[in-house]
Structure 1
């Protein structure tokens, strides 16, 4: 009977997965800090209310910390990595919904930001998936 490991072993094969998680953490943390520190300034530039950007920034800082923690573990839970990928996918879907529904009066720069960050998050998710598969 074959069994499926519930953790990713600390092998060289997990390097891609750790890299993808750390890059996701760096990007999320940077955007989160900007959202917390300069929500009013960037909100005006992007057409997003500071009251929206501030809690998103706080979430992203916490998210980045969780991603760094996960990537630093000697072994990583496949369930945790799967949850990261699912949350990232939900983020991308929510970004598309934000654009389609017109929830905010985005500026051209705001629209570009939403598109670019959604593409980057999708890319991180793809790398995480590839890293998880490679780690066996």
Structure 2
């Protein structure tokens, strides 16, 4: 049998990257909505100030849209995917810093530590999936 190269092979090679971008975009969009709509309610529960939720929500809304855009084009926009890997790594370091600094930065609660820790873990997983997907899609 003759193996043909073409768009079908390329689509198979970038399936992980597309999935990772869309998953990250979906979760980021949900966290953006939660942060923007629930900032005042989350403040006492998590011990993180409302301005931080609003800043996070605004950033994540734009970020989520960019990820969906990059992941749904006929050819994945690789520079956006590579940028997502870097931003996810920076975001994870920021989550670790917030937890480590604790009350020196914010009066973070136990629930707040869990929330920030879960977000940090999620962005590490998304970044690793995107990195692996970029390697496969070459």
> Normalising by the residue count of structure 2, what TM-score does the alignment of the two structures yield?
0.87
Q: What is the distance in 2 between the residues matched to 1:89 and 1:55?
A: 18
Q: Segments of 4+ in structure 1 off by > 4 A?
A: none
Which residue number in structure 2 is paired with residue 19 of structure 1?
A: 19
The CA deviation at 1:10 is 4.5
Alpha carbon RMSD of aligned pairs, Å?
1.3
Moved more, 96-105 or 26-35: 96-105
Other-structure match for 1:4? none
- Aligned partners of 1:79, 1:33: CA distance in 2, in Å? 26
Correspondent of 2:107 among 99, 105, 108: 105
The CA deviation string for residues 98-132 of structure 1, in whole angstroms up to 9 with x for no partner, is 11122111111000011111001100111111111
How far has the Cα of 1:11 moved from its partner? 2.0
Higher helix content, 1 or 2: 2
Equivalents in 2 of 1:16, 1:55: separation in Å?
29
- SS of residue in 2 equivalent to 1:11: helix
Aligned residue in 2 for 1:5: none
Structure 1, unaligned runs of 5 or more: 1-8
Larger Rg over CA atoms: 2
In structure 1, the partner of 2:135 is: 133
5+ residue gaps, structure 2? 1-8
Give the total of aligned pairs: 128
